[in-house]
Amino acid sequence: MNDQTGRAWVFGDNVDTDQLAPGIYIKRPIAELARHCLEGLAPDFASSVSPGDCVVAGKNFGAGSSREQAAEALRHLGVKAIIAQSFGGIFYRNAINFGLLPLICADASSIGNGDILRIDASSGEVFNLTREQNYQAEAIPAHLLQIINAGGLLPYLETRLGVKTKND
């Protein structure tokens, strides 16, 4: 995941985990839950987001409960990165555990809905191809990038420890 390109889906401040993974669907399979991801803010999000797209937000993205399904739903839909001014702490860690790249970027509000972004995960650089602007996000430590690049914590541990964590 060193260099990726995708479309920006822009949201505001305080997008909480109930908007990402609505509680009414929380006990259903992830494919069904993901179909309702962000529907209260953007009804067409789940049906229109493409693999490699990015979610862009303001402050406190992923606030609320510790439900890991919030990050899992985004990952299931193919979102590769979330660029926000700040994150809810538990969501930030859950994103990494599910192989999503969470970038803290003070300039996230400069990104427009539908802009095409290229992200260099190792440097934290975000290049807005639509506006021809660069933004610098906080760098992700190398050991966390290894987890993200592996596809999340479980795939990382499977590779690192040489064991299977799931029955396939």
pLDDT tens digits, residue range 132-167? 999 999 999 999 999 999 999 999 999 989 887 665
Return the residue matching tokens 């305080």. 14
Could you tell me if residue 20 is inside a domain? yes
Amino acid of residue 88: G
Q: What is the pLDDT of residue 126?
A: 97
Task: Supply the CATH number for residue 53's domain.
Answer: 3.20.19.10
Could you tell me if residue 82 is inside a domain? yes
Could you tell me if residue 166 is inside a domain? no
Could you tell me if residue 168 is inside a domain? no
Q: What is the pLDDT of residue 167?
A: 54
Mean pLDDT of the chain: 94
Say how far apart CA 81 and CA 121 lie, in whole Å: 9
Rg (C-alpha) for the chain, rounded Å, is: 15
Could you tell me if residue 167 is inside a domain? no
What 3-state DSSP class applies to 147?
helix
Report CA dihedral (7, 12, 17, 20) to the nearest 10 degrees: -40
Q: Residue 1 pLDDT > 60, yes or no?
A: no
Say how far apart CA 44 and CA 39 lie, in whole Å: 7
Domain that holds residue 150: 3-161
Say how far apart CA 108 and CA 86 lie, in whole Å: 10
Contacts of 163 (CB under 8 A, 6+ apart): 157
Q: How many domains does the chain have?
A: 1
Average pLDDT for residues 67-71, to the nearest whole number? 95
Buried residues in 86-122 as b, exposed as e (16+ CB within 10 A): bbbebbbbbbbbbbbbbbbbeebbebeeebebebebe
Say how far apart CA 34 and CA 22 lie, in whole Å: 9
Q: In 11-115, where do the E strands start and end?
A: 54-57, 81-84, 101-104
